[in-house]
Amino acid sequence: MKKAILALEDGRTFACQSFTGPGEASGEAVFNTSMTGYQEVLTDPSYRGQVVAMTYPLIGNYGVNPQDVESDRVQVAAFVVKEYQPVPSNFRSKASLGDYLIQNHVMGIDGLDTRALTLHLRNAGAMRVFISTEDTDPLSCVRKARAISSMTGQDLATVVSTPTPYRWVQETPVPLEGDFRRLSLAVWKQRGQRRSVVAFDYGIKYNILRLLEASGCEVVVVPASTSAADVRRMEPDGIFLSNGPGDPAPVAYAVQTIRELLGYRPIFGICLGIQLLGLAMGGVTYKLKFGHRGANQPVKNLKTGRIEITSQNHGFAVDIATLNPDDVEITHINLNDQTLEGFRHRTLPVFAVQYHPEASPGPHDARYLFDEFNRLMAGH
């Protein structure tokens, strides 16, 4: 344990300690209200560049294991908890949370009032933060927090996206080899047996790929910068737009690609995917005050009237008022703040949601969306 300080850009500071040894970390301070699933939070690429504070007080109870990851590494800039539990108790545990963070060179912080931090972020909004065990002068740390780049204007999709295409086979990423490296119709090995889906990786979670495969799809994951021409050469049955971190507005290359693919094949988007799709349809995105991060967000399905309990992780949203109602039908809204949670195109086979149907908080309230994607592909 090392004494540390957590300093926010507005001058608020918290005395704390590091349970992962000495170090410094910085990013955007946000909070997550989930009671479990901290390993999924840590490895979700949508958290790239963020210092995540958990509102549930005891974290580390069940350790970590290789099965619960959502990417190939820890993505958060630092992890903040009220009270770290160093001795895990679970039959699936393979290591402690502290050891896992140390191995991934990520700071773990505890010993501060996460309730006070959460309330402050709710009132003042998500903001830049600096954490250090080396520099414990409050004024110096606040100055360093103010020098950090803002999340607004950052294209982080290129940072977390895969550099090369790969197949998703039996819960494992398999790199394309030999002639298959060139994106074409030849990449598909189960053409005709399974629906062929091109998944754009803006920070894709593994569980999305697991559910696409489980729903009968053969999935090839491509980099965020992949062109519409490359996709057309592959001749897929459907196109998936993934979740991801950062501001959607500067990801202009992806917006242009999506715009060129509208009407070509059925498209399904999640999280950052809906934001990029909204921009491609002429909408505007904006930054939420403190975002939606947790596994208890109530969303109303306007078509059925049912309420879905959803898992969410985003700091930006599409402005409903900027979408053309002649082209776009709003299908889901957030019951807490009435923000956009889902839409579909009125004439094209295109739909998307802001929340994460693969995260199973309901636990299966939103699984139907993967079946809907399959129906669209079957009918196209």
- Residues (pLDDT < 70) of the chain are 178-181
| Strand ranges (E), 99-187 | 107-110, 127-132, 166-169, 172-175
Tell me how many helices (H) and strands (E) the chain has.
Answer: 10, 20
pLDDT at 365: 81
Known active-site residue 358: yes
0.75 exceeded by pTM:
yes
CA distance 18 to 145: 18
Buried b (16+ CB within 10 A) or exposed e, 67-84: ebbbbeebbbbbbbbbeb
Instruction: Report the sign of the C-alpha dihedral through residues 216, 218, 223, 225, in that order.
Output: negative
- Among the listed residues 47, 295, 26, 303, the one whose alpha carbon sits nearest the alpha carbon of residue 160: 47
CA atoms within 13 A on the CB side of 234: 31
pLDDT at 98: 98
Catalytic-role residue among 28, 213, 218, 358 = 358
Contact 182, 176 (CB under 8 A): no
**Element (H or E) spanning 295, and its range?**
strand 285-301
Cβ count near 263 (within 10 Å): 12
Known active-site residue 356: yes
For residue 335, CA distances in Å to 31, 305, 309 come to 19, 12, 10
CA distance 206 to 195: 18
Catalytic-role residue among 9, 271, 308, 314 = 271
CA atoms within 13 A on the CB side of 52: 32
- In the chain, the amino acid numbered 27 is G
CA distance 366 to 375: 15
Known active-site residue 345: no
CA distance 168 to 161: 15
- Domains of the chain (ranges; CATH) run 2-146 (3.50.30.20), 157-379 (3.40.50.880)
